[in-house]
Amino acid sequence: MSPGTREPSLSAAATWSAPDPVNQPMIRHFVEAVGDENPVYVDAGAARSAGLPGVVAPPAMLQAWVMRGLKATQELERARAGGRGRAGTAPASAQDEVLARLDAEGFTSVVATNCEQEYFRPLVLGDHLSASSRVESVSDEKKTALGPGRFVTTLTEMFDQAGELVAVMRFRLLKFRPAAPSATTAATSAGATAGAATAGAATAGAAAAGAPARASREDLGAGMRPGPVLTRDNAFFFEGARLGKLLVQRCSSCGTLRHPPAPSCAACRSLEWDAVESCGRGVVYSFAVVHHPQVAGFEYPLVVALVELEEGTRLVADLEGVAPADVRIGMAVEVGFAPLSPEIALPVFRPSAPSRK
Amino acid sequence: MNGRPPRSLPYESVSVGDKLPGLEVPVTRTLVVAGAIASRDYQDVHHDPELARERGSPDVFMNILTTNGFVGRFVTDWSGPAGVLEAIAIRLGAPNYPGDTMVLSGEVTAKLGPSERSGSRGVVEVAVRGANRLGDHVTGTVRVGLPMGRAPDPDTRSSPEGTVEGTPGGTAEGMAEGMAEGSPGALA
């Protein structure tokens, strides 16, 4: 936002008219899109049989009547790109100004999070709405799965041509600063994994800590899943995983094994180390079944196990191939590897063959 | 659709705990784009995969207005055309990306009595959940007004799987119970 732009008042309401009255073509586009075959939206006789005055609009379509449309959206985007708060013909709403301000703060992405609508009467063909909208609140900066952001809540009242209130809508959206690609739940670029120093999913060398996902997942899930942060300490571990080997760091001085990877030996403080390949077998030392919060890229309930390897070290990884209710501490498991991207694979454990279902 | 008799669920036939027949929605790019444009939402993340990726999303994703449309449809598919939606409150979680499937499930959570809008309808509250393989895409609450105060006409359906025909001696509650049990499409 350019210097000198005033702070928008949250209470300033913007009012505008729907570009078109409630009409059959727009209704038809909408009901066909969502596959809604309710006849009251297209058939006056059926509507009257259902006790309605005539064809009505799908109530859930409410917001569509007052959307700004393509032209104004493009003007607004051009204006934002040019550093101005809003465009000439776009609705000059307080919300636009708040959003522009948040753009300027770096919260450039937007996602809708809540919508509460109340309908006081069905809208019939010919009803012409006007909307009055104001920003109710802008939250402090929050950490979200998508990145840091601020929630903006607007309240919009919809009136008919007679000035009667016909509906209200409270709408909440998140303006956020996209986190480094591999750290977002919506990440795609697996190649950017190594650069994602801010990734929160796999911190401090907790190699496979809690972040691995399903070997069975298709590309969609794989693209969504946060990847590990690669460091000089843990790079060997993931290089091994990529090659299908579960490696354990070993102190070159005293031979003590350690995991997660770390620069020095806790037993003798030596900085010299190499790695040995685990046999890949172990037992469930402990586990958790994650139901909430749900992060994109994972399947829930998600069984995350702390596996004690036969070599004696423990690591955190997904446990697959067993129903959450059937997981037992002490059950024998063996490792497999789930590709996260062409460069990254994560160890995933499954019940050992004898007890596998 | 012309001439299709409106068959709707009467308020009296519904019980708290009734499950709605499930609805599976295969999410395609066509659906995402059609829903966005039908709701006049031209945000690029709903129609342009390349720009969506630039914004940190793996693909285009369904806009909230389309989700709202599905939630409304899901409830009126169950209630029949005489069911009048009075409120929809939803919260979005995991995005609906092309290639995924959203499975809507719902349950009657309250019977709120006569509608403030019309004395001939009774309001039922339904909890709705739409899950995809990433988690809950949408959770919410819908209030729908159902015809009340008259005996169910013989044409009235109790669920898409069956009608209340043939249960003249049954109470409304009994019918509703039978309906809940007999709805193979209902999802817990």
Mean pLDDT of A180-208: 30
Where does the pLDDT of residue A93 fall: very low under 50, low under 70, confident under 90, or very high at 90 and above?
low
Q: Does B120 touch chain A (CB under 8 A)?
A: yes
CA distance B97 to B29: 8
- Exposure pattern of A181-213 as b/e (b: 16+ CB <10 Å)? bbbbbbbbbbebbbebeebebbeebbbbbbbbb
Domain ranges of chain A: 14-20+67-176, 23-56, 181-355
Q: Residue A209 has what pLDDT?
A: 28
Nearest-angstrom CA–CA distance, B142 and B37 = 24
Structure tokens at B181: 């049990």
Q: pLDDT for B101-156, tens place per residue?
A: 999 999 999 999 999 988 899 999 999 999 999 999 999 999 999 999 764 444 44
Q: Is B43 within 8 Å of A110 when comparing Cβ atoms?
A: yes
Across the interface, which of B92, B93, B134 has its CB nearest the CB of A224? B134
Best residue in A16, A28, A38 for a mutation probing chain B (most B CBs within 10 Å):
A38
CA distance B57 to chain A (A): 5
Q: Does B86 touch chain A (CB under 8 A)?
A: yes
Question: What are A311's two structure tokens?
Answer: 């070599």
Output the CATH code of domain A14-20+67-176: 3.10.129.10
At A253 the three-state DSSP class reads: coil
Please give the pLDDT value at position A75.
86
Please indicate, yes or no, whether the overall pTM of this predicted structure exceeds 0.90.
no
> Where residue A110 falls among pLDDT bands split at 50, 70, 90?
confident
Q: How far is B168 from chain A (nearest CA, A)?
A: 23
Distance of alpha carbon B66 from the chain centroid? 13
Provide the token pair at A183.
């750290």
CA distance A33 to A58: 12
Q: What is the mean pLDDT of residues B27-38?
A: 98
Picking from A58, A204, A52, the residue whose alpha carbon sits closest to that of residue B66 is: A58
Q: How far apart are CA A121 and CA B85, in angstroms?
A: 9
Contacts of B57 in chain A (CB under 8 A): 186, 188
Q: Backbone phi, then psi, for A159, in 5-degree steps?
A: -120, 150
Instruction: Please choose, from the candidates B10, B62, B64, B124, the residue with its C-alpha nearest in 3D space to the C-alpha of residue A117.
Output: B64
Return the pLDDT at B4. 47
- Residues A50, B56: C-beta atoms closer than 8 Å: no
What's the rounded Cα separation, in Å, for the pair B87 and B83?
12
CB contact under 8 A, A38 and B81: yes
Residue type, A337: F
For chain B, which domains are there?
11-181 (3.10.129.10)
Q: What is the pLDDT of residues A151-185, one digit of tens each?
A: 999 999 999 999 999 999 999 999 988 765 433 33
Please tell me which residue of chain A has the smallest CA distance to B72: A60
Mean pLDDT of chain B: 81
The average confidence (pLDDT) of chain A is 80
Residue B182 CB neighbours (<10 A): 12
Distance between A273 CA and the closest CA of chain B, angstroms: 38
